[in-house]
Chain A
Amino acid sequence: MDKFIIIGERIHCISPAIRDAIANRDPAPILERAKDQLASGATYLDLNIGPAERDGEEIMQWGVKLLQENFDNVPVALDTANKKAITAGIAVYDRSKGKPIINSADAGDRLGYIDLAAENDAIVIALCSKQGVPRDNDERMQYCQEMLEHGMSLGMESDDMWFDPLTLVIKGMQEKQVEYLEFIRQLSDLGLKSTAGLSNASNGMPKDVRPVVDAVLTAMAIECGLTSAILNPNDKHLMDVVKTAEVILNHTLYADSYLEL
């Protein structure tokens, strides 16, 4: 069983500090968050530059180089709606520590991101949806298969497609959570890799409730076979939960100091 992979989510243009840093090409805030996330156990760093319609290519190249030059070629998830920016980012990407991740494709308008991954020998996060929220798991699986076939027809390895079950907010879609977890298990049973933005589930909840919900959902998703997640590695409690789930499932060997590792 491969180690559960953490994709650190904190370099995201939705944060004002990061948005400003990108706008001003100011490395400091980005490097600080990168350092903190890696120290807390992130394997990949997500680099979300937003739609970046105007100067996306330049921003992505700047960001990729900034992270990789400062952190021993850390593998990066390139996260933007601007396809050209992803191509530009991969052009300067050093893959010695891992392939780039393209975040993300879906079975609808963003199917072309799979082509982009195939052309660039990248990993692609493939969101199991087309337009809006899938009706049920049959629909999710249909999208998953469509994307899988598309990727394989382009010569991709299935291991390079990480399927995202589409995490749904609990407030409003509480009845869909069990099905969501069941879908993760279906992906796992098929031997497919998966990832999820788990904290979406707690959107809209009070600040003190969110960490509890995030931690429990993460543990349940890992038990169902989720192989990676996009999350905040600097949430100590959440990381402790991930590590403990990994120990209980015998994915990592227990030692008294396991929470420090």
Chain B
Amino acid sequence: MGYKKEPQVFKAKIGEVVIGAGDAAVTIGGENVWSFYSFDAPIEHKPATGIEFSDKGPDRSLPELAAFYEGAESVADIAARACTAPGADFVSLILESADPNGDNIPSEDAAAIAKEAAEAATAGGKPLVIQTTGNTDKDGELIPKIAEAAQGHNVLILAAKEENYKGIAVAAVTAYGQKIGAESAVDINLAKQLNVLIAQMGIAPGSCVMQLGNAAAGYGFEYLASTIERVKLAALTQNDDTLQMPVIIPIGSDAWAVKESLVSEEDFPEWGPREERGIEMEISTAVAALAAGANAVILRHPAAVKTVSGMVDQLM
């Protein structure tokens, strides 16, 4: 008997979310097959790879990274440089200086930085994703200000949580037309609940992505991967429309915070240069997240961005 290929195409599909304005717009989501199963049905929007930078500037102790950002000092310049990274589909600003456990700059100042980055990104032809502090109170105050300051740039702001989603959803999406991420720390039931609550606020599905958690490969990553998989399983095989939102996973912060990326070459000469190790941590983590079903990943190092987006292109 001849082999009959049965494409595994689902009746359900992931919703689409557009980020960025004008020529800078990028769409994520929209697939009705498992990740990269483009042999079952065309995947119109490839998974997006982003490049992130802190408002405090890149880690210039990493030679390759320092070379990439050489001469770029202001946030606008850094953002503009990030837009030129080969393979980057979007750029991402981390508002590190707004963190209450750090410099804790006022929200107004942070919003001004966000505006600067948004203008530079749109000018550079890339959408902007803004990562805020993760502090519930600060973000609740900061995100509406960012949303207002970045009006017209259709930015994606990460992220709203169970404790502060109400104000964020109303201000960022309803009032200023931005996109938001719903963050649940590796908790599938909370991920669904948060989507339900945000939808009950009248927020259309096309305005929200899921930020399901973050972890570096080898550091509890399997929980994150299985969470992404379980969400996609519910969205596609069970047609659960409360989970049919694209998934975005920030990789950089975790990948650069583990031992493999931190210890110096002097202390561990047999491990080789630190920068290479960090890049490899980013690549390993991002590829696994994409295989599990992520629609977008955010990386820090241009070399990692190039490799991961190159893999995506070859698999599509």
Contact = CB atoms under 8 A, between A and B. Distances in A.
Interface of A: 1-3, 251-257, 260-261
Residue among B193, B197, B200 facing the most chain A CB atoms (10 A cut-off): B193
Contact of A255 (B189, B230, B238): B189
A261 B243 CA distance: 12
A129 B197 CA distance: 46
A256 B190 CA distance: 8
A257 B238 contact: no
Given A3-B239, A252-B240, A257 B193 contact: yes
A255 B192 contact: yes
B234 interface: yes
Contacts of A260: 196
A218 B245 CA distance: 32
Interface in B190-216: 190, 192-193, 195-197, 200
A254 B231 CA distance: 11
A253 B190 CA distance: 10
Nearest to A98: B11
A223 B149 CA distance: 53
Contacts of B193: 255-257
The 9 closest A-B pairs by CB, nearest first: A255-B192, A255-B193, A253-B234, A257-B196, A256-B193, A254-B189, A253-B192, A255-B189, A255-B196
Nearest to B194: A255
Contact of B188 (A1, A2, A253): A253
Interface of B: 188-190, 192-193, 195-197, 200, 230-231, 234, 237-240, 242-243
A253 B238 contact: yes
Nearest to B12: A3
A253 B191 CA distance: 10
9 contacts: A2-B238, A252-B234, A253-B188, A253-B189, A254-B189, A255-B193, A255-B242, A256-B193, A260-B196
Given A2-B237, A255-B192, A257-B200, 20 more contacts: A2-B238, A2-B239, A3-B239, A252-B234, A252-B238, A252-B240, A253-B231, A253-B234, A253-B238, A253-B243, A254-B189, A254-B192, A255-B190, A255-B193, A256-B189, A256-B193, A257-B193, A257-B196, A257-B197, A260-B196
Nearest to A256: B193
Nearest to A247: B189
A252 B193 CA distance: 13
A26 to B, nearest CB: 34
Contacts, number: 38
A252 B197 CA distance: 17
B236 to A, nearest CB: 11
Residue among A253, A254, A260 facing the most chain B CB atoms (10 A cut-off): A253
B225 to A, nearest CB: 17
A107 B314 CA distance: 54
Contacts of B200: 257
B242 A261 contact: yes
Contact of B196 (A251, A252, A261): A261
Contact of B238 (A1, A254, A256, A261): A1
A3 B196 contact: no
A10 B238 CA distance: 26
A261 B241 CA distance: 10
A261 B188 CA distance: 16
A261 to B, nearest CB: 7
Contacts of B197: 257
A257 B240 CA distance: 14
B241 to A, nearest CB: 9
A202 to B, nearest CB: 30
Contacts of B242: 255, 261
Contacts of A253: 188-189, 192, 230-231, 234, 238, 240, 243
Contacts of B192: 253-255
Contacts of A2: 237-239
Contacts of A257: 193, 196-197, 200
Contacts of B231: 253
A42 to B, nearest CB: 15
Contacts of A1: 237-238
A69 to B, nearest CB: 23
Contacts of B237: 1-2
Contacts of B190: 255
A39 to B, nearest CB: 15
Contacts of B196: 255, 257, 260-261
Contact of A3 (B188, B189, B195, B238): B238
Contacts of A255: 189-190, 192-193, 195-196, 242
